């Protein structure tokens, strides 16, 4: 864990806060943004960057989800429930994003020795434990069977998952991403994905393994900590931890040349999505 903490101790952290852009901020823009930042940080033309983002009523599908035999029926159900959907450019399976879910990305340069994949996950786990160190709880990292998008670095309290971590690597840059269910009902989010899979699969045998979702294994941090947390509360905790681990944190949106690179990555992910859905 000490090695993971060392990743958080950067000389400077560039902060890009996109947590309050509202319902018109599309998740495709977020994934293009992280790809852009991976590229820039990997080249050494940007400091390590911490980005926060919130998307309203959006289901983010994994590429594997596009292989579901009755995908159109599942997507139609999501639309009926008032959700948009996109396919992300990294691994994993379907997750729910809404105004009660805060997403955080940490973008590091991959050093000469390389950042071991587990070290990236553990850096994010360490960050979250620091953020909520004032609560008398144990935050575990292990797969929560029955959750949506299960993985070995699901974060949970008392066996209930509130977060999932993923990674993306581009051109010597590493983006470690997490979604944190801050408030709202984790169980209701899980029921939505459960119904999506029921309609998109209809019990058919598939080459791919999809989760058998048990909604009761998912919850929000507000419920698990018995504290009415908001996205803004958690953002403050996030910034305070980064500030304590670096000499400087500073806010800086994309500059002209950086934005040109972002437009290229955005076009790429839009084109990919048009092939999938």
Point out the residues that are catalytic: 149
Cα–Cα distance between 187 and 267 in angstroms, integer?
Answer: 35
Question: Do residues 43 and 171 touch, judged by C-beta distance below 8 A?
Answer: yes
Q: At what angle do helices 256-276 and 27-43 cross, to 10 degrees?
A: 130
What lies within 8 Å, CB to CB, of 187 at 6+ separation is 215, 216, 218, 219
Q: What is the CA radius of gyration of the chain?
A: 18
Cα–Cα distance between 156 and 176 in angstroms, integer?
Answer: 18
Question: Other C-beta atoms within 10 Å of 49: how many?
Answer: 25
User: Could you say which DSSP state residue 130 is in?
Assistant: H
Lookup result for tokens 């990674």? 167
What lies within 8 Å, CB to CB, of 203 at 6+ separation is none
Cα–Cα distance between 188 and 207 in angstroms, integer?
Answer: 28
**Dihedral (CA of 88, 91, 180, 47) sign:** negative
Per DSSP, helices labelled H in the chain are: 2-8, 27-43, 71-80, 117-131, 186-201, 221-225, 231-244, 256-276
């Amino acid at each position: 864990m000490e090695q993971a903490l060392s990743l958080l101790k950067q000389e400077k952290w560039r902060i890009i806060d996109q947590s309050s852009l509202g319902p018109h901020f599309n998740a495709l823009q977020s994934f293009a943004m992280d790809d852009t930042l991976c590229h820039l940080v990997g080249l050494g033309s940007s400091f390590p960057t911490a980005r926060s983002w919130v998307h309203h009523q959006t289901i983010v599908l994994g590429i594997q989800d596009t292989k579901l035999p009755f995908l159109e029926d599942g997507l139609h159900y999501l639309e009926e429930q008032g959700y948009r959907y996109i396919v992300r450019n990294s691994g994993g399976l379907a997750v729910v994003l809404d105004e009660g879910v805060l997403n955080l990305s940490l973008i590091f340069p991959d050093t000469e020795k390389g950042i071991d994949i587990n070290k990236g996950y553990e850096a994010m786990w360490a960050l979250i434990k620091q953020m909520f160190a004032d609560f008398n709880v144990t935050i575990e990292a292990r797969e929560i069977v029955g959750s949506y998008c299960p993985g070995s670095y699901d974060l949970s309290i008392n066996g209930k998952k509130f977060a999932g971590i993923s990674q993306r690597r581009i051109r010597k840059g590493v983006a470690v991403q997490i979604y944190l269910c801050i408030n709202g009902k984790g169980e209701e989010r899980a029921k939505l994905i459960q119904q999506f899979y029921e309609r998109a699969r209809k019990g058919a045998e598939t080459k791919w393994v999809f989760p058998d979702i048990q909604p009761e294994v998912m919850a929000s941090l507000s419920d698990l900590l018995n504290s009415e947390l908001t996205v803004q509360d958690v953002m403050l905790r996030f910034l305070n931890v980064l500030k304590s681990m670096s000499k400087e944190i500073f806010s800086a949106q994309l500059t002209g040349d950086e934005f040109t690179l972002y437009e290229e990555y955005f076009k790429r992910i839009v084109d990919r999505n048009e092939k999938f859905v």
